[in-house]
Every structure is written in structure tokens, then in C-alpha cells.
């Protein structure tokens, strides 16, 4: 199994497997049960645990996530763990484990070749209420981005994605915008325009609280009065978050 394959633990009954895999050295995350959060988590992990029963996650939300990964070959999830396999009958492109012993067999089959030399990636998401999401929300609010515009939500998603996987910044139009668009059922062009409008609105109002951000992240998010481009703002905020190691 390649380092890009994914496991998705989709209900609370099996979320204890998160601890087991973490001890084995795999990069595991717990994430909120919505399409944006799940996609962000799965882009940068071997396993993502949705801390809720499948019924409360919503089949439509999960379908959006797995359809997205189905179309990206090297990110495709290999199987999911669930006590409600019937919820995934339509997901023919993933394997459902119906009992925990099946999961143990799959661990041996797919992960048996992993050794102690495996370098564990850091787990950055720590609980049902994401500290990362909370911090990103505070930052864009303090920069004056109004929460009533669509670009507010798209900007938050983009910053979270870039913080978890900085390589998306190498291809904003081909990776970042499409990912945000997919999880929000819109188009990459609309995502780009909405984020640009949100940034323009914030800079035109000039009512952001930069001191709050500097005190919280120990990092200056400033462009000397000039309005930043979408990629500049996303890159700077995500870079500050990585440097702060989310200790916010």
C-alpha cells in the first residue's frame, strides 16, 4: 500500500482505531463530519476518523468527498471502516469493513511491510472542534473579511487546505480552487472571484485588527496597505499557522 492510500474510519464505534494506528506510526487525524473538513484531513493523512456515526455525517457529504478522491488516482481511498455498510452500497470504489476483525486482516495485508523506520507525519487536527478551523476563522474575521460573503467561507477552506498541505500553493488554479469548489458544490472560477471580492472588501474597509493576529501567531500579516492577491494572503496566513505549530 502506498503512502498516499487512505483509510476512513466513519463512525464512533471504530474511532478507537485512531489510537491503534497512531501507535503504529501512521499519520491519523480526527475531523469534523463535513465535506470540507474531511477532504482537508484526507489530503494529508493515512487515516481520517470521522467522529460521528455515518448517519449523522450525511451520505451526500461523504459522496462528495469520495467522488473527489476517486478522480485523483494517487489520493484514492482504499477502504473505509463502518458499522453501517449499507450506507455505502453506492460507493463501489471503496471497500467497506463490516467488522473490526476484517480491519485487522486488512491492516496485516496492506500495512504489514511498514517498519519502525517509517517517519510519522505530525497529526495536526485534534478533536471534533478543530483548533485550526477556529484559528483561521478568528484570523480572517480580524482581518476584516465579512462573514456574510461567500468568499469568507471559501477563504477559510483554502487557508485550512494550504496549512495542511502546502503543496497546493504550487498549483492554486489546478488544485486549491478545484478542491474548495468540489466541497462547496460550485466552480473554481466562482471560488477565485468570491475570495478576491472578500479580500477587496476587507482592505477597502481597513478595519482589520492586525495586532490581534500578531499577538496570537507571533507573525505579522501585513502588506503595507496594498491589497494582497488571493494566493499571497492564503500563503502568508497558512505559513504563519505552520510556523506557530497551531499552538494558539
Question: Which is nearest to 68 in space by CA: 197, 179, 232, 211?
Answer: 179
| Residue 184: per-residue pLDDT | 81
| Residue 154: per-residue pLDDT | 94
Show the cell assigned to 197.
471580492
**pTM, whole model, 2 decimals?**
0.50
Burial bucket for residue 21 (CB in 10 Å: 0-12, 13-18, 19+): buried
Domain 131-244 has CATH 1.10.10.10: yes
What would the DSSP string read from start to end of the chain? --TT-EEEE-SGGGTTHHHHHHHTT--EEEE-SSHHHHHHHHHT-SEEEESS-HHHH-HHHHHHHHHHHHTSGGG-EEEEE-S-GGGGTT-TTSEEE-SHHHHHHHHHHHHTT--TT--PPPP---SSS-HHHHHHHHHHHHTT--TTSHHHHHHHHHHHHHHH-GGGGGGIIIIIHHHHHHHTTS-HHHHHHHHHHHHHHHHHHT---HHHHHHHHSS----TTSPPPHHHHHHHHHHHHHHHTT--
Domain coordinates in residue numbering, the chain: 6-111, 131-244
- Consecutive sets of 10 residues in the chain, 248 residues long: mean pLDDT of each? 49 57 63 69 60 54 68 54 58 51 55 38 38 82 87 92 83 88 87 94 70 60 72 88 61
Amino acid at each position: 500500500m502506498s503512502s498516499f492510500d487512505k483509510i476512513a474510519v466513519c463512525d464512533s464505534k471504530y474511532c478507537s482505531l485512531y489510537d491503534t494506528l497512531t501507535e503504529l506510526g501512521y499519520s491519523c487525524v480526527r475531523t469534523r463530519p463535513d465535506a470540507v473538513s474531511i477532504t482537508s484531513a484526507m489530503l494529508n493523512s493515512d487515516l481520517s476518523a470521522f467522529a460521528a456515526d455515518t448517519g449523522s455525517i450525511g451520505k451526500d457529504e461523504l459522496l462528495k468527498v469520495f467522488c473527489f478522491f476517486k478522480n485523483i488516482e494517487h489520493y484514492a481511498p482504499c477502504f473505509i471502516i463502518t458499522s453501517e455498510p449499507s450506507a455505502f452500497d453506492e460507493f463501489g470504489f471503496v471497500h467497506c469493513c463490516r467488522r473490526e476483525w476484517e480491519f485487522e486482516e486488512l491492516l496485516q495485508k496492506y500495512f504489514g511491510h511498514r517498519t519502525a523506520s517509517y517517519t510519522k507525519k505530525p497529526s495536526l487536527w485534534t478533536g471534533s472542534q478543530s483548533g485550526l478551523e477556529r484559528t483561521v476563522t478568528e484570523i480572517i474575521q480580524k482581518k476584516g473579511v465579512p462573514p456574510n460573503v461567500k468568499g469568507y467561507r471559501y477563504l477559510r477552506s483554502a487557508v485550512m487546505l494550504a496549512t495542511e498541505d502546502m503543496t497546493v500553493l504550487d498549483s492554486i488554479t489546478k488544485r486549491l480552487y478545484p478542491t474548495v469548489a468540489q466541497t462547496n458544490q460550485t466552480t473554481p472560477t466562482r471560488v477565485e472571484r468570491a475570495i478576491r471580492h472578500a479580500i477587496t472588501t476587507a482592505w477597502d474597509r481597513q478595519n482589520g485588527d492586525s495586532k490581534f493576529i500578531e499577538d496570537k501567531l507571533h507573525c505579522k500579516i501585513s502588506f503595507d496597505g496594498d491589497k494582497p492577491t488571493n494566493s499571497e494572503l492564503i500563503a502568508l496566513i497558512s505559513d504563519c499557522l505552520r510556523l506557530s505549530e497551531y499552538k494558539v
